[in-house]
Amino acid sequence: MKIYDVTLPIHPELPVWPGDPPIEITQVAKISEGSDANVSRIACGVHMGTHVDAPLHFIEDGASVDSFDLNTLIGRVHVVDLRTELTITADKLERQGITKRARRLIFRTDNSRFWQAGRSTFEEQFVALQPDAAQWLVDRNIQLVGIDYLSIAPFDHGAPTHRILLRAGVVIIEGLNLSHVPPGRYTLYCLPLNIKGSDGAPARVVLIGP
């Protein structure tokens, strides 16, 4: 069995959603300057890098990230190859032959090439789910969905897709790096920071498979 770490490393050059706080990492104590230990401070938004969205992100009275059930975040997952698609619609998902028993799906798209190339600027043209694809997932009782850029939804029309998924309680993982992951079935371990009352949280995500 092989472990695939699909988490983006956190550093100040990592792109963030336009308008979100930049990532700042500052060393506030240094052994070289007489301190007993090195201590660093990090400042960032909760939707940076590899992260999960809670319903509260788009729904006023939605559940926060600390309410997530670990049984949803850990388990069998299908990595679906959509690298030839420019957008993800219900019709395109229907053609993938996704088993009706699937409860967790991760989409590998051409977005992963941004991470493979080390891009430090935000890309507005990324592959995302259209609202009808989100409804397709909800109708099939999908509990968790992930994608390899900073949003599951299109840049200029993000609210509908997010709201369809989050109102149905679907966990959304964004910012995955799948450039080194073949399509197939894996065991997913997604562990977001347990931030009380938050609309999202950074997460460490790994896939274990053949």
Distances in Å between the Cα of 162 and the Cα atoms of 28, 70, 133, 138, 151 are 38, 21, 11, 12, 9
Q: Evaluate the CA torsion angle 44, 155, 148, 179 in order and state its sign.
A: negative
DSSP E strand stretches across 82-182: 104-108, 144-147, 171-174
Please state, in angstroms and rounded to a whole number, the distance separating the CA atoms of residues 209 and 6.
13
Structural contact between residues 77 and 95, judged by C-beta atoms closer than 8 angstroms: no
Please state, in angstroms and rounded to a whole number, the distance separating the CA atoms of residues 164 and 162.
6
Label residue 61 exposed, middle or buried (CB < 10 Å: 0-12, 13-18, 19+). exposed
Q: Which of 11, 47, 51, 57 is catalytic?
A: 57
Is 57 among the catalytic positions? Answer: yes
Please state, in angstroms and rounded to a whole number, the distance separating the CA atoms of residues 115 and 113.
5
**E strand or H helix at 19:** none
Residues in the chain: 210
**E strand or H helix at 43:** strand 39-43
Q: Annotated active-site positions, please?
A: 57
